[in-house]
Amino acid sequence: MSKDKQFVKEITPQAEDFSRWYIDVIKKADLMDYSPVRGCIVFKPDGYELWELCQRELDARFKETGHRNAYFPLFIPESFFQKEKEHVEGFNPELPWVTEAAGEQLEERLAIRPTSETMIGHMYAKWIQSYRDLPVLINQWANVVRWEKRTLPFLRTSEFLWQEGHTAHETEEEARKETLQMLEIYRDFVENFLAIPVIVGQKTPSEKFAGAKDTYSIEAMMKDGRAVQAGTSHYMGTNFAEAFDIKYLDRDNQLQHAFTTSWGVSTRLIGALIMVHGDDRGLNLPPKVAPTQVVMIPIGPAKTRDQVVARTDELFAELKQAGIRVKVDDRSDQSPGWKFNEYEMRGVPVRLELGPRDMEKGQCVLVSRVTGEKRMVQQDQLVEEVQKLLDETQQELYERAKQFMADRFRSVDELDELKAAMEEERGFFLAGWCGSASCEHQVKEEAGATSRNIPFEVTEHKSKCLVCGENAQHTVVFAKAY
């Protein structure tokens, strides 16, 4: 038992220091390690597998909607950054440069891609000649680099993993439809797979992506009340096509610029996953994204051990056969109590305990990581019972996160009210906004909150700007963001 106590002590309580809690949990759950390169982390197997499961799920959704994957070079010639003025201003401060290779100085410096956007623009200009070549629907899974001064594992690292979709279309209508389709895919994935409720909406002009006409985002609330932008989708209009000369002969034989979109999510989703569901006992993984959904722990005295382990293995085979990600921990050098804590800390949604008395009765015990509830179930109904508990857990985590967000989602009328509220407790704040960049800027300076987005759906339409009191053009969500 002393081991158990020590164990829990190693995780700082959320209420004491949320940032330390986060680092404690990801280190203790073995998701990552710091690397000797500043700002770059190592994704350890338990962390990387979360990304693999996200990839598999998203990739299937991208392919279902007609997208295909491709791969573009890591290096971007310096001249490419001159083509799109806003692009270069957006990224230049963050770029690492290759200046020499194979013992020689390069004639032109090469940036490590912060996105492949410019390279893809260059290639699309070659590939797209006629309306027959459209639409182009391409996605890339890749590593990208943005040299960050202040980093936070998963949420902000100098190198990270992501996907970037880039599409080109004949018409504005089609490109806008694509932009919103991908936003909806992200929303559905984040809400129903990661069990993270989000606010869906449009970015204000000052928060949109450099060069985009319109940027849309999904915004999630962490347990410290801060926001994480969990995915973005951009309608570029013809801005990007003009910068990169992406032109096609239309059905009337006229040369036109293509309408383009881009959209992406990254490994920061892993950070959000941890910060939305985790608690003082550690990780708390929604079953759909949990690498291990059920851990089976045989218990009881040494004399019945072999029998219990043998039965555990049979049940393991049944669960595995049913497609459930299951694991047995039958190590004899760790106590059941230690194991219970260990897998709770690792966020495994369901624990199965099997002891000699359970065996006699043809039963076993399921324990929910989220609620702590124990269920005695019949072994001959195990698959159904486990599936049911996993479904309930997925739903429960979503509902809890939704309730948490609702509790921290407040409406404010004036900047002073926002400042006071932010000081009391962080969260999402709905406020009216006149549309001026200076009012938005003032909110950031004085309350430390940025506009997250203009939600598609709001509970309430605000009529006055929270800063200047003029008529509100939009009702906006403000929050402090990661």
Cα radius of gyration (the chain): 25
Distance of closest approach, residue 439 Cβ to Zn ion, in angstroms? 3
Distance of closest approach, residue 146 Cβ to a copy of itself, in angstroms? 9
One-letter identity of residue 89: E
Residue 101 burial (C-beta neighbours within 10 Å; 0-12, 13-18, 19+) = exposed
Question: What's the distance, Cα to Cα, between the start and end of the chain in Å?
Answer: 38
Site string for a copy of itself, 62-101 (x = CB under 8 A): ------xxxxxxxxxx--x-----------xxxxxxxxxx
Please tell me the distance from the alpha carbon of residue 72 to that of residue 89, in angstroms, as a whole number. 22
Would you say 251 or 441 has its CB closer to Zn ion? Answer: 441
The partner residues of 471 in beta bridges, in order of sequence, read 464
Would you say 96 or 337 has its CB closer to a copy of itself? Answer: 96
Please tell me the distance from the alpha carbon of residue 199 to that of residue 457, in angstroms, as a whole number. 8
Token pair 């009210």 is found at: 417
Q: Which does 361 bind (CB under 5 to 8 A by kind): Zn ion, a copy of itself, none?
A: none
Within 8 A by CB and 6+ apart from 438, the residues are: none
Site string for Zn ion, 376-415 (x = CB under 5 A): ----------------------------------------
Structure letter (DSSP) for residue 481: B
What part of residues 419-478 is at the interface with Zn ion (CB under 5 A)?
434, 436, 439, 465, 467-468
What part of residues 147-206 is at the interface with Zn ion (CB under 5 A)?
none
Distance of closest approach, residue 418 Cβ to Zn ion, in angstroms? 13
Count residues contacting a copy of itself (CB under 8 A)?
A: 52
Distance of closest approach, residue 393 Cβ to a copy of itself, in angstroms? 24
- Taking the alpha carbons of 118, 124, 126, 131 in that order, is the dihedral positive or negative? negative
DSSP string of 228-293, one letter each residue? EEEEEEEEEETHHHHHHT-EEE-TTS-EEEPEEEEEEEETHHHHHHHHHH-BTTB----GGG-S-S
Within 8 A by CB and 6+ apart from 442, the residues are: 415, 467
Q: Which does 465 bind (CB under 5 to 8 A by kind): Zn ion, a copy of itself, none?
A: Zn ion
Q: Which does 365 bind (CB under 5 to 8 A by kind): Zn ion, a copy of itself, none?
A: none
What part of residues 96-135 is at the interface with a copy of itself (CB under 8 A)?
96-103, 110, 112, 119, 122-123, 126-127
179 in Cβ contact with 167 (< 8 Å): no
Distance of closest approach, residue 298 Cβ to a copy of itself, in angstroms? 20
Site string for a copy of itself, 28-57 (x = CB under 8 A): -----x-xxx--xxxxxx--xx-xx-----
Which stretches of the chain bind Zn ion, using CB under 5 A? Answer: 434, 436, 439, 465, 467-468
Which stretches of the chain bind a copy of itself, using CB under 8 A? Answer: 33, 35-37, 40-45, 48-49, 51-52, 68-77, 80, 92-103, 110, 112, 119, 122-123, 126-127, 138, 142-143, 145, 147, 149, 159, 161
